[in-house]
Amino acid sequence: MSSSARRQSLNRIVVINPKGGCGKSTLVTNIASCYAKRNQSTVIMDYDPQGSSIAWLQRRDSSLPEISGIAAFKQSMQATRSWQLRVPGETNNLLVDSPAGLGHDDLRELTRDASSILIPVLPSPMDIHAVSRCIADLLLVAKINRNERKLAVVANRTRKNTKSFTRLMRFLDSLGIPIIAVLRDSQNFIHAAESGTGLHDMHPPSRAKPDIEQIDRIVSWLDNWQQRRKMGIQVASIAGKTVPRLGQSTTQSA
């Protein structure tokens, strides 16, 4: 397969939010362990100099389904493209863990060619303010096209009926960005992080059932990336046909 065909078929999931501690590495590791459990070839590319996802992989027992790791933080972010060439050809899913406090250039570079972009957010007013900035940057700086439906939010460590959560829902609704899952504050995530496991590796899984259900919701949404992309292209081409350009008449002159 040519490198551009490979880029087209690779499920490249970028987890991003410049706010620290909102759950980026938690999402990356749990989604990766879900894919690995399905026997899909999965790679984590960690761009965070803290190396949390790589450290998690090092704690992971070799008897568990395999996940590979690339410590991309050892290179400059501008080298992203050449690093992507290091991803083994048979990879189905590439999960990108990003650092807190990303600048505009890095944001553009990391989100280029993403199949999906997940934004975890904590429900505090400060975090909601920060995520509004992050979404604005993704749309205006990284030029993510909303029609492509790549963007989704995961509300983390949250209770549904709080004022700030309702405000967040309203804001995202106005932008047409879905909240695809709501993760509760749960020790299961902390135990999993400490032991190099994901919720899908847990025995017995019933212990973490409500949390696993939310991860499964995220993964179902991610699995649909090709359909979302197709629909986005259709929406864009319909819009291109029906919306006249400025200064262009909609009626033909004789």
Determine if 124 is a binding residue for ligand ATP (CB under 6 A): no
Position 29 contacts Mg ion (CB under 5 A)? no
Q: Is 109 helix (H, G, I), strand (E, B) or coil?
A: helix
Answer yes or no whether residue 42 interacts with Mg ion by CB under 5 A: no
Q: Are 36 and 68 in contact (CB under 8 A)?
A: no
> Which residue reads 């920060």 in tokens?
130
Give the Cα separation of 129 and 134 in Å (integer): 9
Spatial separation of the C-alpha atoms in residues 109 and 83, rounded to whole Å? 12
Binding mask 151-190 for ligand ATP (x = CB under 6 A): -----xx-------------------------x-xx--xx
One-letter amino acid of 209? K
List beta partners, residue 120.
154
In whole angstroms, how close is the CB of 37 to ligand ATP at the nearest point? 19
- Pick what 189 binds: ligand ATP, Mg ion, none; C-beta below 5 to 8 Å, kind-dependent: ligand ATP
The alpha carbon of residue 104 and the mean position of all alpha carbons in its chain are separated, in whole angstroms, by 18
Beta bridge partners of 152: 118
**If you ran DSSP here, which 8-state letter would residue 74 be given?**
G
Residues 52-111 that bind ligand ATP (CB under 6 A): 52, 100
235 binds, among Mg ion, ligand ATP, none (CB under 5 to 8 A by kind): none
For ligand ATP, give the closer residue by CB, 190 or 236: 190
Q: Which H helix or E strand runs over 204? A: none
Q: Which is nearer to ligand ATP, 81 or 160 (CB)?
A: 160
Residue 103 burial (CB count, 10 A): 12
Determine the interface stretch with Mg ion among 6-14, 47-55, 192-200, 242-250 (rule: CB under 5 A). 47-55
Q: Of 18-26, 36-44, 134-142, 163-171, which segment contacts ligand ATP by CB under 6 A?
A: 18-26
Alpha-carbon gap, residue 156 to 126, rounded angstroms:
14
| Residue in 12, 19, 24, 60 binding Mg ion, rule: CB under 5 A | 24
25 binds Mg ion (CB under 5 A): yes
Q: Are 95 and 24 within 8 A, CB to CB?
A: no
Site for Mg ion, rule CB under 5 A:
24-25, 52
Which residue ranges make up the site for ligand ATP (CB under 6 A)?
Answer: 20-26, 48, 50, 52, 100, 156-157, 183, 185-186, 189-190, 193
